[in-house]
Amino acid sequence: MKSNSPIWHPFTQHAVQPDATLIASGEGAWLTTADGRRIFDAISSWWVVTHGHRHHHIMQAIKDQADRLDQVIFAGFTHEPAEKLARRLVAMTPPQLEYVFFSDSGSTAVEVALKMALGFWRHRGEKRTGILALEGAYHGDTIGGMSVGERGVFNAPYDPLLFDVERLPFPSAGREETTLRALGAACRRGGVAALIVEPLILGAGGMLIYAPEVLTEVKRVCETHGVLFIADEVMTGWGRTGTLFACEQARVTPDIACYSKGLTGGSLPLAVTLCRADIFDAHYSTDRSRTFFHSSSYTANPIACAAALANLEIWDKEPVLERVAAIARLHSLGLDRFRDDRRFTNVRQIGSIAALDLASGETGYLAGVGPRLYQGFLSRNLLVRPLGNTIYIMPPYCSEANELGMVYQAIADVIGEMP
């Protein structure tokens, strides 16, 4: 039975999920449906909402900016919210990241990063076109993002469009040296332009965590061979892993970094790609053919930039990382009941992210248990959207102990009711 709506929803198989839940409002960590039902947003609405839905400071900034300037072309023009935001980002991100390119989603931030890297080497007269990425990675759904992501169900129909990428083994516990050896060998063969990684944890690839020490060594190998290091912090940025940015835990500075999702606190779409000065300089020329040819129609939208500035003010004035640490402690307590439960494997957490795998016969994104788990949680007024047999929790930072306790109790109840 087809839906009555003409909308084609993302990552949705409408033949098995014909009707979408109609949401009327949001407040804090909760969503309210059109018929008054309240649903706890345990995944921050696809990992974007940090401080909670409709944080008053961000909402006021949006309203104020809408009264002044809604949109302006960003080629040859600029505006105060973008200028202020760029300067703030340069000041608060790792040193050496001196230039900010605006876009509107994590996928486009990655696309920009890849184009920056390839343009850098071309304009320097060096033939480096190879890209390295981790097995299991996910970097978005644009062509470049899909190319550097894991090949499989997400992108199989579009394979003719994708460019070749060399993949390194994921550095799971006990396999770290395998990853580092593969990276070193690839770099020594030459021609590598850049390595792109999700620092410390893969997102859509299964919430797989690896040690900061591995990331430190990966960056060292890249530096040794002059390979650009791209950090895709679209998910891991803005406190998700326990620090403002995940790279901080490895004490590494990316050559290019991608930030989005929590950049506006989850209120409006906005993304940035930051880079070293020499990458900008490689494109800087009176030769117009060396222009960085990339744009979005809504590049640096003033209202989105105002929302991002308000978000940064929240980080300045409120104890956000203390809230993240509190959520991490609640995750640890909630996960304890499952650590010795043979129905689960790989119980894990980092910062405000917790995950565990259902030890069923099915694994991977298309595991049939995924939709059943989703419906089980939704029937309990919880938005938990498993990645196949992987259950993960990534709540807004305003979430309270009783709310997360409700989620962990639901995990036990939903699994207990399954055949």
Range of the domain at 31: 23-56+319-355+366-406+410-414
| The token pair that represents 241 in the structure block | 């892993």
Torsion of CA 345, 385, 414, 13, to 10 degrees: -110
Q: Do the Cβ atoms of 38 and 380 come closer than 8 Å?
A: no
Which pLDDT value is given to residue 1? 59
Residue 33, domain CATH = 3.90.1150.10
Which residue, 160, 164, 153, 276, is CA-closest to 226? Answer: 276
Same domain as 334, residue 199? no
Whole-number pLDDT of residue 353: 98
pLDDT tens, per residue, the chain with 419 residues: 577 899 999 999 999 887 899 999 999 999 999 999 999 999 999 999 999 999 999 999 999 999 999 999 999 999 999 999 999 999 999 889 999 999 999 999 999 999 999 999 999 999 999 999 999 999 999 999 999 999 988 899 999 999 999 999 999 999 999 999 999 999 999 999 999 999 999 999 999 999 999 999 999 999 999 999 999 999 999 999 999 999 999 999 999 999 999 999 999 999 999 999 999 999 999 999 999 999 999 999 999 999 999 999 999 999 999 999 999 999 999 999 999 999 999 999 999 999 999 997 888 888 889 999 999 999 999 999 999 999 999 999 999 999 999 999 999 999 999 87
In angstroms, the CA 352 to CA 94 distance is 21
- Residues 28, 133 share a domain: no
Q: Is 8 inside any structural domain?
A: no
Question: Between β-strands 382-383 and 192-197, what pairing exists: parallel, antiparallel or unpaired?
Answer: unpaired
For residue 17, is it within any domain?
A: no
Q: Is residue 7 part of a domain?
A: no
- To 10 degrees, the CA torsion angle through 134, 137, 141, 147? 20
**Contact assessment for residue 74 and residue 251, using Cβ atoms and an 8 Å cutoff:** no
- Tell me: do 41 and 63 sit in the same domain: no
- Report if residue 2 sits inside a domain: no
CATH number at residue 108: 3.40.640.10
Q: In this structure, is residue 5 part of a structural domain?
A: no
Mark whether 282 and 343 lie in a shared domain.
Answer: no
- Same domain as 222, residue 211: yes
Q: Are residues 109 and 40 in the same domain?
A: no
Same domain, 290 and 400: no
Q: Does residue 161 sit in the same domain as residue 38?
A: no
Question: Does one domain contain both 187 and 109?
Answer: yes
Number of domains in the chain: 2
Candidates 87, 85, 95, 24; CA nearest to 53 is: 24
Whether 251 and 346 map to the same domain: the answer is no
Q: Are residues 28 and 75 in the same domain?
A: no
